[in-house]
Amino acid sequence: AAALKVAHVGIAMGSGSAVARDAAQVVLLNDDFGAIVDGIREGRLIFENLKKCVAYVLSHLVPEVAPFLVTIIGGLPLGIQTLVILFIDLGTELFPAVMLAYEEPEDSIMLNPPRTPDQHLVTGKMMVLTYFLVGMIETFMCYWGFMWVFYKEGFTVNQLWYTNSEWGTEPWDLSAEDSATYLKLCVDNTEYTANCSDTYLWFLHRKTVLRRAQAAYFLHLVWGQFTNIFCRRTQISSGISWERMSGNPRMLLGMIFSLCVAVLVVYLPGLQDICQVDPIWIKYMFTGCWIMPIFLGLEELRKFLVRRGLPAHNLMYRLTVY
């Protein structure tokens, strides 16, 4: 019993004495030392899956916050509404993140060195990867879809800088200077003004374009997170192998639920008015999705480089595996 108390992890048999069981930190009820390995594997799997959930959720914070910073600094129209962010956090993100808890262990899970006592769930490497790499890629993808709607509707990027104050304002509430900017934006949209020259209808058209662009931003964030979840399923093994794809069918259910929420937000009458978005055509839904295979390919390349060599001598492992 004394040895069990001073050991790092005291292990006693289930059939042992009551004194030994009380002194031990772990009791093997089946008297099988092989259960120790199984327990370590399950403990590592739980911790790894928790890290996957956290990394997946952190990634979408940058494209949620970036529109507000861009609007404040550059005056661009707001990319996403606050209520839509709530639907992302409580709808499209919730179930896929939970389903990551059911991921199977990677082949290398028992080859990794033990965690140090001061190792945290969220590390600096995770923050760099999720915020400055994945988050920036998703933000670029979202703004590509957002700006593409404006471009196809007749508004160029140069016309949109420092015009946010006019986009949500009634025409008769504008100052003389803002009104001139407002009318210039409308008149430059020749595709629309060829059919109508009324100022208020110009305002309505601008409002519709903005809501369509915000819907495109929202949908591109969902597509980006779909790609991200395949990347976050593993840190070392390939995330697109058949064994990995078929090993967690619950993930597919989570993604289907996320897709249903996104479709309801954009296309359900009443809900779209609450979220201040308008339905968009298919040609606007996937304009930025060319970034997805590049994103996935870069992540698979990183994992391939991580798998080369031992962790102690692998620079990519030390820099990117959290």
Q: What is the CATH number of the domain that holds 176?
A: 1.20.1110.10
One domain, residues 149 and 255: yes
Residue 193's pLDDT band, with cuts at 50, 70 and 90, is very low
One domain, residues 87 and 123: yes
Between 308 and 83, the more confident residue is 83
One domain, residues 11 and 75: no
One domain, residues 143 and 163: yes
Taken in order 37, 43, 49, 51, is the CA torsion positive or negative?
negative
Between 315 and 68, the more confident residue is 68
One domain, residues 25 and 129: no
One domain, residues 27 and 89: no
One domain, residues 15 and 120: no
One domain, residues 219 and 198: yes
Lowest mean pLDDT, pick from 5-9, 83-87, 126-130, 182-186: 182-186
One domain, residues 217 and 132: yes
Is residue 168's pLDDT more than 80?
Answer: no
Structural domain including 182 reads 41-320
**Distance in angstroms (rounded) separating the CA atoms of residues 222 and 66:** 16
Q: Tell me the β-bridge partners of 27.
A: 12
In this prediction, residues 304-322 reach a mean pLDDT of 78
One domain, residues 173 and 50: yes
Is residue 51's pLDDT more than 90?
Answer: yes
Average pLDDT, the chain: 84
| End-to-end CA gap in the chain | 38
One domain, residues 72 and 218: yes
Over the stretch 71-121, which tens digit does the pLDDT of each residue have? 999 888 999 999 999 999 999 999 999 999 999 888 888 887 788 878 888
One domain, residues 159 and 16: no
Q: How many domains is the chain built from?
A: 2
